Amino acid sequence: MRGFGFALVRTARSRAELQTAQRGRPSDLAQRFSHSAAGPGRPSFGIAFDIDGVILRGRSPIGGAQRAIRRLYSEDGTLKIPFLFLTNGGGVPEHRRALELSQLLGVDISPTQVVLGHSPYRELVNRFEDDLIVAVGKGEPAIVMSEYGFRKVLSIDEYASYFKDIDPLAPFKTWKVGQTESYLSAKVHPSYDVYSERVKGVFVVSDPVDWGRDLQVLCDILSTGGLPGTEKGDQPPLYFAADDLEYQAAFPSERLGMGAFRIALESIFNQISYHPLKYTSYGKPNPFVFKNAAKILEKLVMSMYPDSQTLKEVNECQFSAIYMVGDNPKVDINGASKAGHPWSSVLTRTGVFRGKDNDPQFPADVVCLISECIVPL
């Protein structure tokens, strides 16, 4: 706890003058970080880490990230500092991502410490519980939605497979779709009557894989009131788990994200439809995501100190600071700024942001390499 706090103090002090000059406000960060590290009992601060470009690049931990995360645990492996991962990524259930991160980072990460872009979809189960919905994206989007409690969900791969010739380019695609074999029996006996039952909601769970096919099928669903090949109809609700234009993956420069797909879909849909596309985007920088993360951190503290006064206090945020550590100014830093107290932002130079000083449009409270801000000095 001390090492982390002191490291942040040092980083904050080294940036203080720069921030004051850039943002035109006095920096009290060093004092706040110092307070965060002091005193026994429950920690007065929590941390939210972005994953891509901060902790991992592709599947490889970024230099210093493993050691940084391990410092948040006691020597016996128990959690010392409340933290979670707050990412716009997804495509697998939270418990599976927690297991992957545990293996990659060498610590025990619980599913509650993993907040993915699509995690807020849980809140929509009551609205769509018995409706046919389509889940889009890499990984296992339909399994994700089924585990949240949606009862009638099909992945776009499966849904498209029931409509002959819906993708005129399919014969030219030479790659194999991973799930195809498991769908062969389902193709003969569709799970639901997809030829008469309208799709009542579309959920983009993770980055779409086959953009061309998905743009076509989504335009079909959305322009016909949920039944491809029929007359125009009212657009069913459309949700995106995030709106990142770009993100840092294994390739040296940024890759197009879900926000880029949304722009493509919106541009095309608005050309072929009488009405503009309506949609809702979750994920950072939506302030809802930060409020939800603060609540989860409070619950985490409650589980760390079950017999303390925190039980009475948990209804409101008790943290004097929550640090959002991210690499994307527009998403991570902008989100933390919009969320306001107790959120502070730490911008790393390990991903989307590579600047020398601070981001001019969305300046962070602190700018550093992750190894600078957390690894013991």
- By the criterion CB under 5 A, which residues form the site for Mg ion? 50, 52-53, 327-328, 351
Query: In 3-state terms, what secondary structure has residue 148?
Result: helix
> How far is residue 9's CA from residue 25's CA, in Å, rounded to a whole number?
18
| Order of all β-strands in the sheet with 132-136 | 152-155, 132-136, 201-204, 238-240, 280-281
- Residue 233: both structure tokens together: 């109809």
* Residue linked to tokens 């009638």: 152
Q: Which residues contact 44 (CB under 8 A, 6 or more apart)?
A: 35, 36, 38, 318, 319, 320, 321
Which residue, 213 or 284, has its beta carbon nearer to Mg ion? 284
User: Looking at beta carbons only, is 310 or 334 nearer to Mg ion?
Assistant: 334
Supply the minimum distance, in Å, between the C-beta of residue 289 and Mg ion.
14
Rounded to the nearest whole angstrom, what is the least distance from the CB of residue 198 to Mg ion in the complex? Answer: 36
Q: Which is nearer to Mg ion, 50 or 94 (CB)?
A: 50
Distance CA 226, CA 196 (A): 10
Strands (E), the chain: 45-49, 56-57, 60-61, 83-86, 114-115, 132-136, 152-155, 201-204, 238-240, 246-247, 255-256, 280-281, 321-326, 343-348, 366-368
Instruction: Identify which of residues 52 and 131 has a Cβ nearer to Mg ion in the complex.
Output: 52
CB nearer to Mg ion: pick between 53 and 117: 53
CB atoms within 10 A of CB 227: 17
Please, which residue, 131 or 327, has the CB nearer to Mg ion? 327
Residue closest to Mg ion, measured at CB = 53
